[in-house]
Amino acid sequence: DNAKPAILVSGEYAKPVGTVPNLGAPYAISAATNLEGGTDLSFAPGVELVFSIGSGVFVGWNGAQAKLKAVGTAAQPIVFRGAENTLGYWNGITIGTSATADSGFDHVQVKNAGLVLRRSIPVTNSSFSKSAGFGILKSAEDMSDYRLTNVFADNASGPVGM
């Protein structure tokens, strides 16, 4: 919608360090983004990221350590969603095996895609809806029961899978 202000973010390979501020407008992500080695990225409560079709985020790309920490609040969750409110609109977030153990999600909403965990990280007080697959797809080694501390709705394959 051209009538709504947004902050355009375009980057295929990035090493951001710092906190993404809540500027009161969504961040529009226009391409698949690989967070490379040295990334140490967090989000201020209330940040909203809107993804174009085919875009997504891969943390710990190419075997290099990277950290993504998304910690919102009940009143100001961090939102990752598609530009359109349709099932599986964007590719979601992948936490690679090289993502650091202190990566994590708390009070986060992931809409129109899912979360792929190739390593176990804390995911609590969050919601996952309208994924074309599972809300969370985890590795077989991950013994966490993400259903206990999160909410899932309308995910094509179910709440959590391996």
For residue 143, count CB atoms less than 10 angstroms from its CB and return exposed for 0-12, middle for 13-18, buried for 19 or more: exposed
User: Residue 62: phi, psi to the nearest 5?
Assistant: 60, 30
Nearest CA among 155, 147, 101 for reference residue 129? 155
**pLDDT of 106-126, one tens digit each?**
999 999 999 999 999 999 999
Task: Identify the pLDDT of residue 3.
Answer: 62
Confidence category of residue 5, pLDDT binned at 50, 70, 90 = confident
Which amino acid appears at position 133 of this protein?
Answer: G
Task: Identify the pLDDT of residue 76.
Answer: 98
% pLDDT > 90, the chain = 81
Which amino acid appears at position 114 of this protein?
Answer: G
Is pTM beyond 0.85? Reply is yes
% pLDDT > 70, the chain = 98
Task: Identify the pLDDT of residue 63.
Answer: 81
Distances (CA, A) of 98 to 11, 94, 105: 20, 11, 17
Task: Identify the pLDDT of residue 40.
Answer: 95
Query: Mean pLDDT score of the chain, rounded to an integer?
Result: 94
Nearest CA among 10, 40, 122, 27 for reference residue 79? 27
Confidence category of residue 2, pLDDT binned at 50, 70, 90 = low
Task: Identify the pLDDT of residue 64.
Answer: 84
**pLDDT of 15-27, one tens digit each?**
888 999 999 999 9
Confidence category of residue 47, pLDDT binned at 50, 70, 90 = very high
Distance CA 115, CA 96 (A): 11
